[in-house]
């Protein structure tokens, strides 16, 4: 059966505000009223009407799978015969979509099948939670609707018990206008067991009518302006999902998706927008944005959580080999201290009331450490835990948007992991548009023991062509002795995990200005079991 629409709630978490911030704050009464009386928030708001209009491939936005379990996986597709038109050419039709899962790529040994419904209320997307599969198995799937048949996708279920190895990729930040997704073509050739996408799947900002580095005018009309409502965000996902390299990796491997800021608004923090939009208006925008994120990603829904539109933090276990804690560092945080740029740490960043996870998610994470049977315990999230410091005219400056601005949260999580006997702690992140390997420590301003390793993956495309070592890379290395490796090219990280070691291969491209560019290995970082240190080759 298809999953239902996401639980969208309006209950505020009053514990996430600390003091008076730099941004406009209205009363919660006004905010709740704005959500309650916003037409179409929980229903279809598409501008299209009437019947489906004929056009191109009904499955032109591809297929995907995600959130793998030992016995199941989410299957996804979105019907869009005219993907760049408002409403993707689907009108108000409700369409039956048949799905099937097979043990072979030729789809002859079918093991599961059924029918879902693609509705205008869900943007004509389909989420099917397939269960009854075998663990650690490769499966294939496809959809059929309206006389059309989708491409065949591959997926992989998670193992149980003593798994001996797994491969996964982690990636983020794919600004469509900044270049081509050649990293995904390379990733698909390696066919990892799972891909962790750690945020900025789309960018909400306007796109130049020339298509930026892609030099094309083939875009939705809404691409020229910033996304504000549900239709705008749906349009933007359609544009991104037309990319053939992105479709290839979705067909090849299941994804576990997390959102960061640009799925909604740059550097947003819980109820606080970037640019002073009134809070009631921003809450409506955020709900629309996260609904569009749910519609367009192969995610399994979780019970509603007060203070968040979608409970996005969740946990994935790969036998006793690895446990992945997928975090949400946007929905529950307090406002960034000292603004959201790079400044010195001070009493505001040390304030124990400031939080990047919120109290409920933080307890969930620490309780999970208590129960984890895994050899490797992984934090899969958005922004770096490590201080990536730079000397700014004699001032040690760090990002206020990452964990460096929330020092008490960092200390509680890292010391909590240590106190619970977590010896193999690895943080995998994105966001910063550069590759960085760093020590995990509770503080970086004095001697503090290393409690784990952080692997930050560069962007897929955001920032355009990079270079092996740019000015920022050199500056952070000079001021951050805990940084073990850095690089400023585009690409991703391919991880091979075994009981005795973790190998992280940093795959990078010299250029992303052509869809035919290739990637190469810039470095391989090895982490040995029970040794929070790295070897870089």
CA distance 225 to 213: 18
Going from N- to C-terminal start, the domains of the chain cover 63-155, 158-536
Per-residue confidence at 302, pLDDT binned at 50, 70, 90?
A: low
Task: Please state the φ and ψ torsions of residue 196, each to the nearest 5 degrees.
Answer: -100, 110
Q: Could you tell me where the DSSP H helices lie in 261-406?
A: 279-295, 347-350, 359-371
Compute the average pLDDT of residues 406-433.
97
What letter would DSSP give residue 369?
H
E-strand spans in 33-87? 63-66, 73-78
How big is the CA angle at 213 (ends 210 and 216), to the nearest 5 degrees? Answer: 40
Strands 534-536 and 519-528: antiparallel
The pLDDT of residue 36 is 41
Angle at which helix 359-371 crosses helix 407-419, to 10 degrees, equals 20
- pTM for this entry: 0.92
Gyration radius of the chain's alpha carbons: 22
Q: Take residue 54 and report the two structure tokens written for it.
A: 């004929």
The burial of 195, by beta-carbon neighbours within 10 Å (0-12 exposed, 13-18 middle, 19 or more buried), is given as: buried
Buried/exposed code over 506-518 (b: 16+ C-beta within 10 A; e: otherwise) = bbbbeebbeeebe
CATH architecture of 158-536: 4-Layer Sandwich (3.60)
Q: Does 378 score more than 90 pLDDT?
A: yes
Whether residue 311 contacts residue 16, with contact meaning beta carbons closer than 8 Å, is answered with no
E-strand spans in 370-468? 376-380, 390-392, 395-399, 425-429, 435-440, 452-456
Residue 79 half-sphere exposure toward CB, CA atoms < 13 A: 30
Tell me: the pLDDT tens digits for 488-510? 999 999 999 999 999 999 999 99
The pLDDT of residue 276 is 86
Q: Which of 72-81, 264-273, 301-310, 444-453 has the lowest mean pLDDT?
A: 301-310
Whether residue 358 contacts residue 311, with contact meaning beta carbons closer than 8 Å, is answered with no
Paired residues of 293 in beta bridges? none
The burial of 217, by beta-carbon neighbours within 10 Å (0-12 exposed, 13-18 middle, 19 or more buried), is given as: exposed
- Note the Cα 150 to chain centre separation in Å: 25
Whether residue 395 contacts residue 401, with contact meaning beta carbons closer than 8 Å, is answered with no
Residue with tokens 């499955």: 59
What letter would DSSP give residue 353?
T
CATH of domain 63-155: 2.60.40.380
How big is the CA angle at 522 (ends 457 and 215), to the nearest 5 degrees? Answer: 70
Q: Does 38 score more than 50 pLDDT?
A: no
Residue 442, number of CB atoms within 10 A of its CB = 17
The pLDDT of residue 55 is 62
Which helix (H) or strand (E) segment is 409 a member of? helix 407-419
Compute the average pLDDT of residues 276-294.
95
CA distance 410 to 356: 9
Per-residue confidence at 533, pLDDT binned at 50, 70, 90?
A: confident
The pLDDT of residue 3 is 42
Q: Which of 169, 228, 148, 154 is nearest to 519 (CA)?
A: 169
Averaged pLDDT of the chain: 90
The pLDDT of residue 356 is 98
Q: Does 385 score more than 90 pLDDT?
A: yes
Q: Take residue 438 and report the two structure tokens written for it.
A: 């760093």
Which residues, including other chains, have CB under 8 Å from residue 113's CB and lie 6 or more apart?
Answer: 98, 99, 100, 101
């Amino acid at each position: 059966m298809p999953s239902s629409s996401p639980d969208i709630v309006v209950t505020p978490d009053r514990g996430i505000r600390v003091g008076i911030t730099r941004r406009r704050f209205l009363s919660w009464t006004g905010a709740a009223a704005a959500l309650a009386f916003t037409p179409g928030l929980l229903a279809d708001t598409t501008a299209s009407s009437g019947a489906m209009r004929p056009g191109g491939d009904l499955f032109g936005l591809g297929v995907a799978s995600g959130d793998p379990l030992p016995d199941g996986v989410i299957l996804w597709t979105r019907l869009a015969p005219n993907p760049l038109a408002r409403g993707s050419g689907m009108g108000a039709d409700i369409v039956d979509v048949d799905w099937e899962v097979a043990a072979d790529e030729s789809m002859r040994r079918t093991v599961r099948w059924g029918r879902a419904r693609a509705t205008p209320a869900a943007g004509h997307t389909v989420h099917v939670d397939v269960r009854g599969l075998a663990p650690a198995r490769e499966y294939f799937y496809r959809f059929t609707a309206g006389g059309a048949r989708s491409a065949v996708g591959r997926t992989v279920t998670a193992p149980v018990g003593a798994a001996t190895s797994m491969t996964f990729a982690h990636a983020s930040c794919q600004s469509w206008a900044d270049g081509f997704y050649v990293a995904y073509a390379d990733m698909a050739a390696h066919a990892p067991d799972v891909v962790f996408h750690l945020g900025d799947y789309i960018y909400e900002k306007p796109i130049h009518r020339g298509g930026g580095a892609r030099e094309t005018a083939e875009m939705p009309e809404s691409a020229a302006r910033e996304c504000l409502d549900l239709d705008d965000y749906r349009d933007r996902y359609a544009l991104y999902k037309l990319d053939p390299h992105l479709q290839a990796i979705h067909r090849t491997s299941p994804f576990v998706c997390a959102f960061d800021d640009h799925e909604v608004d740059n550097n947003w923090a819980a109820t606080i927008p970037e640019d002073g939009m009134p809070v009631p208006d921003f809450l409506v925008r955020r709900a629309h944005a996260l609904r569009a994120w749910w519609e367009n990603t192969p995610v399994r829904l979780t019970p509603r959580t007060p203070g968040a539109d979608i409970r996005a933090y969740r946990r994935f276990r790969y036998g006793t080999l690895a446990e992945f804690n997928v975090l949400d560092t946007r929905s529950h945080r307090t406002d960034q201290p000292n603004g959201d740029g790079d400044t010195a740490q001070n009493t505001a960043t040390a304030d124990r009331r400031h939080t990047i996870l919120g109290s409920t998610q933080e307890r969930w994470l620490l309780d999970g450490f208590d129960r984890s049977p895994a050899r490797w315990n992984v934090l899969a999230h958005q922004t770096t835990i490590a201080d990536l410091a730079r000397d700014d005219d004699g001032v040690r400056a760090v990002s206020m948007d990452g964990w460096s601005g929330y020092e008490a949260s960092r200390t509680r999580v890292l010391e909590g992991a240590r106190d619970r006997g977590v010896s193999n702690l690895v943080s995998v992140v994105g966001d910063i548009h550069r590759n960085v390997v760093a020590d995990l420590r509770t503080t970086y301003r004095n001697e503090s023991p290393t409690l784990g390793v952080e692997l930050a993956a560069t962007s897929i495309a955001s920032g355009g062509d990079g270079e092996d070592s740019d000015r920022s890379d050199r500056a952070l290395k000079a001021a951050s002795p805990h940084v073990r490796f850095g690089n400023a090219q585009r690409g991703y990280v391919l991880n091979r995990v075994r009981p005795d070691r973790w190998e992280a291969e940093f795959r990078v491209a010299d250029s992303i200005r052509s869809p035919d560019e290739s990637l190469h290995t810039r470095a391989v970082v090895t982490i040995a079991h029970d040794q929070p240190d790295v070897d870089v080759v």
